[in-house]
Amino acid sequence: MAATGLAEIIVSPLVHSMLDKLASPELSDFGASWGVEVQLSDLSNSLKWISSMLCLVEESQIKKHLLKIYLGDLREVSFGADIMLDDFIYEAHRLRLEDGRNQNRAMRQVRNYLHFSLNENQMLRRHEIHTVIDKIKDRLVQIGNKIEAHYQNLSVIEGKQVEIERRQQTVSLLDTRQKSSSLVVDSDVVGRFQDKSHLISLLLAEEYNGNKVPVVAIVGMGGLGKTTLAQIVYNDPEVKEHFEFRAWVCVPSDFNVERLTNEIMESITLKPCLLSLLDPNHLKLQDFVRGKRILLMLDDVWNENPSFWDALLVPFRVAAEGSRILVTTRSQKVASVMAAVEISLQGLSDQDCWTLFKGQVFTDMYCEVDPNLEEIGKKIVGRCKGLPLAVTSLGGILRGELDQREWQQVLESKIWDLDQAKIIPALGLSYYYLPAHLKLCFAYCSLFPKGYEFRKAILVPLWMAEGFILSKQVERMEVTGREYFDDLFRRSFFQCLKKSNFIERDGSTKEESVFVIHELMHDLAQFVSTGMCFRIEHDEPNHISKKARLEKDRIESPSSFLSVRHPSLSYSRQVLPDLFETKRCLRVLDLSNSSIKSLPDSIGYLKHLRYLDLSCTYISVLPKSICDLYMLQTLLLKPCPELHELPKGMGNLINLQYIVMDKELWIDHRPAGIGRLTCLKTLPQYVVGQEDGYKIGELKVMQHLEGMLRIVKLENVVNVAEAGEACLKNKQRLDNLVLEWSNGPVGLPARGEFLAVLEGLQPPVGLKSFTISCYLGLRFPNWMMRDLSSFTKLVSVKLSDCTNCTTLPPFGQLPALVSLEIVGLNEVIHLAEEFYVDGQDNGGKKGFQKLKFLTFDRMCSWEEWYGSEDGEFPCLEMLTLRQCHSLRKLPPLLPTVQAVKIEFCHSLTIFPSLPSICSLELQTFTERMSNWAHQFSSLYPLSVYSVEDSTHLSRAILRPVPE
């Protein structure tokens, strides 16, 4: 593959993004306010015309260098056009916010100019706006005309099949891979014994995990040795004996069903196939394989179209039981559409890589090597990160070479500079197969250093900030971005490194996968991003294209991505103001882990900024001008231990989706008018106030909230109608909801209003966790007492200090409930059958089908707990009872409970049968309780320990006897 062919110019996602902007209400408002509706419409039409050609043109630039030049010009003009449109959208936001503040359109001072990023004086006057739009449109039309001449030649013949054939021709041009055969030299194979054993067992077993296994797929990035492993297994004597016929086909890039069927026929019969039509070939193939146990090996498969495979594999339906299709592919999607059992191939260990390298250099992988050469050689293979193709390529360069200087030169060189290396063809074809938007996302990863540990939650907002996520809907942007990431992972561009705990934006902790990009894939990303993205290390010269995005730790050169992460870096008072004056088109600014203590007011000039990371800095106050960043999507302020104040105008950040800060800062300095943040997705805590701008109704239009939401000081909802205005039940992306009243009667409304307020705070049915705290109503609302079965995802419920309620809701109706905690409900006396079901016909099925953890704490008046001999909790594992002083009896049978804790429950006289008990902890118990506890020592290998305390009561801990 020609190396230059990989560095494509991708413009189509940017053009699609501009078309979305031109269709937005913001640009419609701008056009009406400034009198340029016609010019914006003309620009939109021109972009639609160019967009209609781009798919074919971008694909054809590899063969036509002139097209690549035109696309480069188009990209440069499009960047300018995109900045212009963002300036217009910013101005529309400013005007709308001014209207909101003035509350009277007639009072608005209509300016004769707007701030403009592309002029030296940063200003565009009213009469100049239409000229600027027309100038960019005319430039786009000029480039479009040049592209159209080539486009017409490319599309003389219309039709889908022609498009497919054209793409196949391009792939064939790029695909310089050596075609594989079934033959392999066993002595050359290193480090795949376990993979080989697993694969053979899959091919020979009749079933796998109880299911038939028609297809087995070896999946992994290019160069991992998928084909080599398949060759080893294909030629294994046990495999040869098991299958009556075997066929090996290297799937060509420009294949179709007819051609591939012919190749399968020739491989099975070992005779040339003279028929070209599909139907007779299918019939002939079907007759040949009927009743025979067949192994069909398809090497290097790319096609992800299910209908193709359905058509190709029809003849094999009549093969004998135990027939297999073995596939090698770089795409998990191929394995998925073929319903394959998947073997995910990983890199070789360092020791196996060194063994393989020795075999390439000295022809004997077990020979003794000079210690100095071995030291250098192990560093060389360390760069290969387990990729056999890289090891053999570098080993081939040094074959027979004993000069230490030559080895050192290979170690210090860049793999891309090695003419003999086969890395570019091996990995580059994977890149070519990517859709345009994924090519941009992958190339962007070159901004991060080798070995960087990627998390979706960090990378996706950066893609969003750069405009790579093609979604018109705010709520879909991150979901779409995560789908992009998953698609790249399935295509082997990312590798899963580990699982780790990660603090979400809402403050909760969850386990998330950590990913890395193989070093050679990273080299590929750097290569294909040439001219767009640069990463400057500390000691490298600063030669940056004006078109480039940049990550660096020095502050020079234009960019849209700027990261300043050096922890010891200090700034003079002038550096950052000068930066913000000159780099007004920044979209991403990462100042995390730097030593800055303040931000200049000039940060307000960065009106294109989408992503601002100030975490782990010593900033104490945010400047007021930060509230002018109307385009900002992500603001990271945690941890910022010195930050003690937020500006009052934070409600102006109308595009903000994610804000991460310490909870205390949000409580003490919450901005007024948070309801204007209609795009916000994270709001860990909302403190309700009685003043305008702080009422619970501010939550009404915040429909995109997700994760956790804690609403506190609900006693300030003095107007019952306000509770319904929060529209909680419409916020379907919330997972965890906490409703909390302040603990105490001061300033609280009448008791009757508590019920109405909670009735209006009905949560969404998609909740996973729900807590009510310090609710002082006399009973729970109707939505809790009638039917809870619609809350199908709710796994955790906690009621705390709802001291006036006498009856619990029918929590047994919750189909997914795993954990239930009832604390401080002092007025509850009985737990009757209604606790399990609502008394309606339930088909004989009892409640709490999935409950594992149950806690009752500080239930001072609770006396009776209804239970039957059948057992009401079929999955309960742990029961905790604390300070239930009046409770006399427990249910007669708790069949699955393994752990019980009972503390300060003096009145208990009737105890349950616990056939599965493993751990029993009792505190302050009576003689009856002691007798009940001791019975388990005779039934199980358990011991009972008792310790007398000062009140002459005992404490017993029942645990398994140590072996």
- Render pLDDT for 566-597 as a digit per residue (tens, 0 to 9): 333 334 345 577 778 778 888 998 888 888 88
What does the pLDDT look like over 132-146, one tens digit per residue?
999 999 999 999 999
Backbone angles phi, psi at 518, to 5 degrees: -55, 145
Check pLDDT > 80 for residue 743.
Answer: no
Locate 60 and state its tokens. Answer: 């054809």
Eight-class DSSP state of 320: P
Check pLDDT > 70 for residue 947.
Answer: no
Lowest mean pLDDT among 556-560, 688-692, 697-701, 751-755: 556-560
Pairing, β 113-115 against β 123-125: antiparallel
- Read off the pLDDT of each residue in 896-919 and give the average, rounded to a whole number: 88
Cα 461 to Cα 635: distance, rounded to the nearest angstrom: 10
pLDDT at 101: 63
Neighbouring C-alpha atoms within 13 Å toward the C-beta of 898? 5
Lowest mean pLDDT among 667-676, 814-823, 893-902: 667-676
Q: How confident is the model at residue 208 (pLDDT cuts 50, 70, 90)?
A: low
Residue type, 311: A
Measured between alpha carbons, how far is residue 161 from residues 165, 167, 411, 885 in Å?
A: 6, 10, 47, 80
Cα 512 to Cα 510: distance, rounded to the nearest angstrom: 6
Per-range mean pLDDT, top range of 88-97, 525-534, 767-776: 767-776
Cα 191 to Cα 674: distance, rounded to the nearest angstrom: 59
Cα 891 to Cα 898: distance, rounded to the nearest angstrom: 15
Cα 860 to Cα 826: distance, rounded to the nearest angstrom: 5
- Read off the pLDDT of each residue in 217-237 and give the average, rounded to a whole number: 88
With beta carbons less than 8 A apart as the criterion, state whether 211 and 263 touch: no
Measured between alpha carbons, how far is residue 815 from residues 603, 857, 874 in Å?
A: 51, 24, 13
Cα 277 to Cα 261: distance, rounded to the nearest angstrom: 10
* Verdict on whether the full-model pTM lies above 0.85: no
- Number of helices and strands in the chain (H, E): 30, 30
> Burial code of 715-744, b = ≥16 C-beta within 10 A, e = fewer?
bbbeebebbbbbbbeebeebbbbbbbbeee
Check pLDDT > 90 for residue 873.
Answer: no
Pairing, β 495-503 against β 509-516: antiparallel
pLDDT at 573: 43
pLDDT at 277: 66
Radius of gyration for the chain, computed over Cα atoms and rounded to the nearest angstrom: 34
Share of the chain above pLDDT 90, in %: 37
Residues with Cβ within 8 Å of residue 857, at least 6 apart in sequence: 821, 822, 823, 824, 880, 881, 882, 883, 884
pLDDT at 186: 52
Locate 566 and state its tokens. Answer: 């050096």
- Read off the pLDDT of each residue in 517-543 and give the average, rounded to a whole number: 71
Angle between helices 65-102 and 126-154 (to 10 degrees): 150
Q: How confident is the model at residue 310 (pLDDT cuts 50, 70, 90)?
A: confident
pLDDT at 764: 96
Check pLDDT > 80 for residue 427.
Answer: no
With beta carbons less than 8 A apart as the criterion, state whether 784 and 755 touch: no
- Read off the pLDDT of each residue in 57-62 and give the average, rounded to a whole number: 84
Check pLDDT > 70 for residue 717.
Answer: yes
- Read off the pLDDT of each residue in 346-368 and give the average, rounded to a whole number: 83
10 Å CB burial of residue 156 (0-12, 13-18, 19+) is exposed
Closest-CA residue to 630 (of 681, 676, 667): 676
More confident call, 751 vs 696: 696
- Chain-centroid distance of CA 694 in Å reads 33
Eight-class DSSP state of 763: P
With beta carbons less than 8 A apart as the criterion, state whether 477 and 461 touch: no
Cα 706 to Cα 479: distance, rounded to the nearest angstrom: 12
Check pLDDT > 70 for residue 104.
Answer: no
Nearest-5° Cα angle at 521, 517 to 527:
125
Locate 866 and state its tokens. Answer: 């209804």
Check pLDDT > 50 for residue 552.
Answer: no
Phi-psi map region of 322: left, alpha, beta (phi>0 left; psi -120 to 50 alpha): left
Check pLDDT > 50 for residue 305.
Answer: yes
Q: How confident is the model at residue 271 (pLDDT cuts 50, 70, 90)?
A: confident
Backbone angles phi, psi at 262, to 5 degrees: -60, -45
More confident call, 380 vs 189: 380
Q: How confident is the model at residue 184 (pLDDT cuts 50, 70, 90)?
A: low
Lowest mean pLDDT among 103-117, 490-504, 544-558, 823-837: 544-558
Lowest mean pLDDT among 159-163, 219-223, 267-271, 472-476: 159-163
- Read off the pLDDT of each residue in 365-387 and give the average, rounded to a whole number: 84
Check pLDDT > 70 for residue 128.
Answer: yes
Angle between helices 371-383 and 350-362 (to 10 degrees): 120
pLDDT at 287: 87
Cα 627 to Cα 671: distance, rounded to the nearest angstrom: 11
pLDDT at 594: 83
Closest-CA residue to 930 (of 952, 896, 955, 951): 955
pLDDT at 461: 94
Eight-class DSSP state of 270: S
Alpha helices in 761-874 (DSSP H): 782-785
Measured between alpha carbons, how far is residue 514 from residues 347, 455, 458 in Å?
A: 17, 5, 11
pLDDT at 88: 97
Backbone angles phi, psi at 166, to 5 degrees: -65, -40
Using DSSP's 3-state secondary structure scheme, residue 51 falls into helix
Mean pLDDT, rounded, of the chain: 81
Cα 676 to Cα 693: distance, rounded to the nearest angstrom: 10
Cα 537 to Cα 579: distance, rounded to the nearest angstrom: 19
Check pLDDT > 70 for residue 402.
Answer: yes
Check pLDDT > 90 for residue 5.
Answer: no
pLDDT at 174: 47
- Read off the pLDDT of each residue in 752-767 and give the average, rounded to a whole number: 91
With beta carbons less than 8 A apart as the criterion, state whether 652 and 604 touch: no
Lowest mean pLDDT among 198-202, 379-383, 619-623: 379-383
- Read off the pLDDT of each residue in 252-268 and give the average, rounded to a whole number: 77
Locate 554 and state its tokens. Answer: 């020095």
10 Å CB burial of residue 400 (0-12, 13-18, 19+) is exposed
Closest-CA residue to 515 (of 495, 501, 500, 534): 495
pLDDT at 2: 44
Check pLDDT > 90 for residue 75.
Answer: yes
Share of the chain above pLDDT 70, in %: 80
